[in-house]
Amino acid sequence: MQEIKVEITDVNPVELFGVNNTKLRLIKSYYPTLKIVARGNVLVASGEEEALQNFELKIQQLILHISKYKELTENNIDNLMLEDPLRILSGDGSEVLVHGNGGAKIRAKTFNQRKLVAAINTNDMVFAVGPAGTGKTYTAVACAVRALKNKQVKRIILTRPAVEAGENLGFLPGDMKEKLDPYMMPLYDALRDMIPAEKLLNFLELGVIEIAPLAFMRGRTLDKAFVILDEAQNSTVNQMKMFLTRMGMSANFVITGDVSQIDLPKKQQSGLTFALDRLKEVEGIGIVRLNKNDVIRHQLVKRIIAALEKEEDE
């Protein structure tokens, strides 16, 4: 049995421990074999050496998070506890992707989101697969905006298969664009966080940023562009084949999707599952799988996903 003392000097201990030690109790739950006591601004932990070393690195990681982001939520703690502490402390993947509206610093917040950024940095084509709320699309859009601002590409193309999730958009008034705009809203929402409204409108009018259904990609060669296929689980096999072969000489492709939310007819195979199976060994293609630990929405979303996964397993 060994003992270590970790002094909290760079941040307010209340930020780390929480009011009435609520956050500290959550931290303790990840170390059931350790005895952990807070004494003022010092954490005293006793137990086996390996667990103590991990605990000390995690506390440093949490303090670093507070220093960077000026807050530490219970959701942050859950995410950070499941990450490799040595990787995070080295700073891999934690760079600011873009400065959003109001000066907000937009960056990957979880381990797998950082893996996604790293995969996009090193591969021309990346698949990002995971449940709702894991930041697949948002992270990909941030990387696209970064590439546009850095003049690495000349345009951004965002596309989705026009498959309705149990709803009928045909009754909506307006032309094709007006009918599809509500369906494309998550893409617009991400862009609005990162680009001032007037500039975004100008980009859309000039075609620097294009948002269109997947069917509109047929026959095109997408070059000098950052292209994101969102909701790819709702593409058919033929649509996926068509899309993947649109890639020009200087393009980045990111394909995102959630294989647990396929809205295609039951007998029709998803283009996403087809591509993941066929392309998993192809050099130059990255595949990143996100999970419930990457959810950065309300804590309930993480619990809902866990409950649904349990039901599916049973």
For 244, residues 6+ apart whose C-beta sits below 8 A from its C-beta are: 125, 253, 275
| Final residue of a structural domain among 89, 111, 133 | 89
Inter-axis angle of helices 74-81 and 22-29, nearest 10: 20
Same domain? For 44 and 119 the reply is no
Same domain? For 147 and 193 the reply is yes
User: 220: domain CATH number?
Assistant: 3.40.50.300
For 55, the 3-state DSSP assignment is helix
Same domain? For 278 and 148 the reply is yes
Same domain? For 225 and 85 the reply is no
Same domain? For 122 and 69 the reply is no
Same domain? For 64 and 169 the reply is no
pTM: 0.67
Cβ proximity of 248 and 222 under 8 Å: yes
Domain that holds residue 134: 98-313
| Final residue of a structural domain among 38, 71, 89 | 89
Tell me how many domains the chain contains.
2
> 10-residue block means of pLDDT along the chain (314 residues)?
85 90 91 91 89 86 83 82 52 68 81 87 93 90 94 93 54 56 79 92 93 88 94 94 93 94 89 94 91 73 74 61
Same domain? For 227 and 78 the reply is no
State residue 295's pLDDT score.
76
Same domain? For 166 and 292 the reply is yes
Same domain? For 285 and 185 the reply is yes
As given in the structure block, the two tokens for residue 73 are: 């939520």
Same domain? For 185 and 40 the reply is no
State residue 255's pLDDT score.
97
Same domain? For 77 and 117 the reply is no
| Final residue of a structural domain among 89, 110, 141 | 89
State residue 7's pLDDT score.
86
For 174, residues 6+ apart whose C-beta sits below 8 A from its C-beta are: none
Cα 179 to Cα 98, 121, 160, 169, 192: the distances in Å are 30, 35, 14, 7, 20
User: 30: domain CATH number?
Assistant: 3.30.1370.10
Tens-place pLDDT, residues 220-245: 999 999 999 999 999 999 999 999 99
